[in-house]
């Protein structure tokens, strides 16, 4: 039989029902139960990608895992709207480190949201949604080539080895204050013009020379 709003099952638990099936206006009587965020421990090999994250930062992290921590693989992970950026990060990493085997796994996880009533006489309502998750393993060691998500290493001609100094230079571009063009042009009396950083030398139309700090004073002959 079809569940009715506010009904409970034989164990007295609120029946699960999609929110879109609730009567119009009824959600005004409910509020979402805020659950404490679960801290999931992360291994050294994991690179968790977010939609707002920087691809260059993820590449740097991969360099740390491979070169400093001496790990043979990294796992690029993302959920929801960050999936595209995870794929981009993995492609860049493959083009910075030679010989990386790849296995990509795409799955979904079930997330249950709970809503509690703000009025008496109503039961709790739960809503279930599915969120996509991607895991991309990039390994210096061989992986199972029979796996449907397997990709062999790129041709080495397509790989430009990771250079931390180049990455640092890239970050520094545009970060300076720029180059100045002196502190102004000096201008002497008559048609005298001065050049230089603070001090200018000017020549008048009659061949006189003038010196000044910022402005050149020309002397007529």
104 φ, ψ (degrees, to nearest 5): -110, 130
Nearest to 119 by CA among 21, 6, 3: 6
- Please state, in angstroms and rounded to a whole number, the distance separating the CA atoms of residues 176 and 76: 33
- Please report the DSSP string for 163-175 in residue order: -HHHHHHHHHTT-
**Residue-level pLDDT at 17:** 52
pLDDT tens, 122-151?
777 888 889 999 999 999 999 999 999 999
- Please state, in angstroms and rounded to a whole number, the distance separating the CA atoms of residues 137 and 76: 6
- Please report the DSSP string for 49-107 in residue order: --TTS-HHHHHHHHHIIIIIS--SEEEEEEEGGGHHHHHHHHHHHHTTSTT-EEEEEEE
pLDDT tens, 191-216?
445 454 544 454 444 444 444 444 44
What the block records as the tokens of 3 is: 């569940």
């Amino acid at each position: 039989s079809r569940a009715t709003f506010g009904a409970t099952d034989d164990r007295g638990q609120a029946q699960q029902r999609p929110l879109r099936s609730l009567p119009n206006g009824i959600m005004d009587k409910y509020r979402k139960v805020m659950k404490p965020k679960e801290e999931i421990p992360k291994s050294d090999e994991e690179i968790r990608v977010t939609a707002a994250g920087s691809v260059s930062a993820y590449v740097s992290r991969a360099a740390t895992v491979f070169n400093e921590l001496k790990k043979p693989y990294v796992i690029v992970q993302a959920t929801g709207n960050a999936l595209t950026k995870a794929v981009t990060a993995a492609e860049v990493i493959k083009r910075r480190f030679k010989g990386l085997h790849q296995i990509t796994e795409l799955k979904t996880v079930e997330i249950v949201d709970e809503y509690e009533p703000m009025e008496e006489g109503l039961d709790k309502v739960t809503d279930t949604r599915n969120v996509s998750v991607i895991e991309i393993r990039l390994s210096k060691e061989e992986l199972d080539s029979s796996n449907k998500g397997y990709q062999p290493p790129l041709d080495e001609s397509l790989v430009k080895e990771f250079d931390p100094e180049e990455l640092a230079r890239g970050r520094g571009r545009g970060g300076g204050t720029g180059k100045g063009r002196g502190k102004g042009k000096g201008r002497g009396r008559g048609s005298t013009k001065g050049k230089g950083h603070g001090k200018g030398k000017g020549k008048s139309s009659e061949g006189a020379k003038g010196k000044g700090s910022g402005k050149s004073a020309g002397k007529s002959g």
